[in-house]
Amino acid sequence: MLEMSRKCVPYTPVTGAINEMRIALVSSTGIYLDGQEPYQEHNDDTYRVIPGEVDLATAQIKHGHYDSSEAQKDINCVFPMERLRELADEGVIKAVSNKHIGFKGASTDLKRQYEHLAPAIAHEIERSQADGVILTGG
Amino acid sequence: MRPPRAIHPVGHTMGRVLGLAGDAATQKKTLHEALKQFEKLTTPGLIVEVTI
């Protein structure tokens, strides 16, 4: 694993326009889908793959460290998949990526998140169609 | 470790970082502002305050 200083800002220059990019959402809001395992109460270092064609009616939130009542009514408050699709339809972005990621984020085991969860999510996104990622938190 | 590019939509709070439930217009504007930073923001680690 590539070691990076905590003072590092992992920055990749973007040379094209956003209307040439496929965009993925990566969200620490505790989003998962019907049929996927909900997150554990504490120190969950797993993630869920959210397909690009997801029906958001099947999306759930389990987090516990922020008020998710607005997100429970309209998940686009924290995971704006429908808005992303609209921007793709309007040509603002090229397309919605085939894969997106949800995870819980809140953890006291930061070392495990840094050494295991983050690289696993990065690897998943690298294997997707995404040219860029929008990260959202709760 | 800071994110490479970030926006802080003024007045948006945890649980509704893109906007209120049902407010599709604000959600889309917020998302679009975030996307614009791919083209605009060339200084790593900056957090841009935006008013939607």
How many CB pairs lie under 8 A apart between chains A and B? 94
Residue A86 binned pLDDT confidence (cut-offs 50, 70, 90): very high
Beta bridge partners of A23: A96, A132
Residue A4 binned pLDDT confidence (cut-offs 50, 70, 90): low
Inside any domain, residue A15: no
ipTM, two decimals, is: 0.93
**In B, which residues are within 8 Å of A73 by CB distance?**
21-22
Which domain range does residue A31 map to? Answer: 25-136
B6: exposed, middle or buried (Cβ count in 10 Å: 0-12, 13-18, 19+): middle
Residue A21 binned pLDDT confidence (cut-offs 50, 70, 90): very high
**In A, which residues are within 8 Å of B21 by CB distance?**
70-71, 73-74, 77
pLDDT tens, position by position, A62-71: 988 899 999 9
Inside any domain, residue A63: yes
**A77:B14 CB<8 A:** no
**B1:A66 CB<8 A:** no
CA distance A23 to chain B (A): 9
**In A, which residues are within 8 Å of B30 by CB distance?**
80
- Whether the CB-CB separation of A106 and A65 falls below 8 Å is answered with yes
> What's the predicted TM-score (pTM) here?
0.93
**In A, which residues are within 8 Å of B42 by CB distance?**
13
- In chain A, the number of structural domains is 1
- Whether the CB-CB separation of A75 and A69 falls below 8 Å is answered with no
Inside any domain, residue A56: yes
- Under DSSP, the state recorded for A115 is I
**A71:B42 CB<8 A:** no
Rounded (10°) CA dihedral A137, B2, B3, B5? 120
Inside any domain, residue A94: yes
Inside any domain, residue A5: no
Inside any domain, residue A99: yes
CA distance B50 to chain A (A): 16
